[in-house]
Amino acid sequence: MITPTRRRLSDAPFLAAATGGTPSRRPVWFMRQAGRSLPEYRELRAGVGMLESCFDPELVCEITLQPIRRHRVDAAILFSDIVVPLKAAGIDLDIVAGVGPVVAQPVRSAADVRAVPRLRREEVGAVTEGVRLLVDELGDTPLIGFAGAPFTLASYLVEGGPSRHHERTKAMMLADPDTWHELLGVLTDITIEFLRAQLAAGVDAVQLFDSWAGALPLAQYREFVLPHSERVFAEIADAGVPRIHFGVGTGELLGAMGEAGADVVGVDWRVPLTEAVRRVGAGKALQGNLDPAVLFAGAEVIEREVRRIAHEADEALALGATGHIFNLGHGVLPDTDPGVITATVELIHSLSSPL
């Protein structure tokens, strides 16, 4: 049972939209808002490795706060990385600049799966201390915790790093399903423990990133991924906070992702929100879905696209969605002008509240 002392944030627009309430304004936050596009972030991170940053509570706190100060978004997203719980558990990996996570000893066999260590709560103490610092600093701004979904974590472990085609991952999944499900079971346990640690420290919502699930057809997703994602959401349900589920290129999977148990389903830019609500089904909130590249197209185009998405969101609410949280369809791109992000937030806030 997760029973932390939580802040009273019932008036926060983000939480209202996520839980079927009526927000006082259109809520907006951006994936990867804490980081790469901000000059203050690059200055702070100079000479400091990514994983080193993620295990420094003061850096976690400061980096998470930077976009709140600059952009006035409606939620903070914890600065971390999806491989942090794997590193904390003792898996030999590093985040290599220009490459991404690289695993020293990939997981390719049943014996390798049995050797994967479990995560103990104290091993992410630096992360939870960062959460506690943030809870003290954020005032009435909600804090979103997050974790990588079991499938996405598995893809890094099996491939040994980022992969374009996920061929080794799919080969294990299809040719050795028993080993696959054993691996996903271990990673589900790690993900649950990592999220529970953040929840106990006081995060106000959580997002599960299944970054690479879009590489799968629907039938494989249902058989090899969905049961494990369902267990993640089921085992943190007692926390009573909004749970968000997001993947990239997952338009064909939205219906199944909607079944996994989250309260909010993130939608990338490829699927209109009016179509997304039909696929996900009524009774859930939607999050998204401005194409990150639009932020390079100039003020006129940005305003047109923001208004289009706001209109689609209102139509989705009429079709049965319980709320809408404005976001990008993926993360902020590194070369995005921070001033453009701030202006976009102001534009979103200026639009009339959703229906």
pLDDT in tens, 98-108: 899 999 999 99
Each residue of 309-330: pLDDT tens digit?
Answer: 999 999 999 999 999 999 999 9
Predicted pLDDT at 186: 98
Task: Indicate the pLDDT class of residue 35, thresholds 50, 70 and 90.
Answer: confident
Of residues 345 and 352, more confidence is placed in 345
Q: How far apart, in whole angstroms, are the C-alpha atoms of residue 180 and residue 311?
A: 42
φ/ψ of 105, rounded to 5, equals -125, 95
Give the residue numbers annotated as catalytic, written as ranges: 32, 36, 45, 81, 156
Lowest mean pLDDT among 3-12, 131-140, 292-301, 336-345: 3-12
Contacts 24+ apart (CB under 8 A), 220-225: 220/170, 220/173, 220/174, 221/253, 221/256, 222/256, 224/151, 224/173, 224/177, 224/180, 224/181, 224/184, 225/149, 225/150, 225/151, 225/184
pTM, rounded to two decimals: 0.96
Predicted pLDDT at 8: 73
Predicted pLDDT at 352: 76
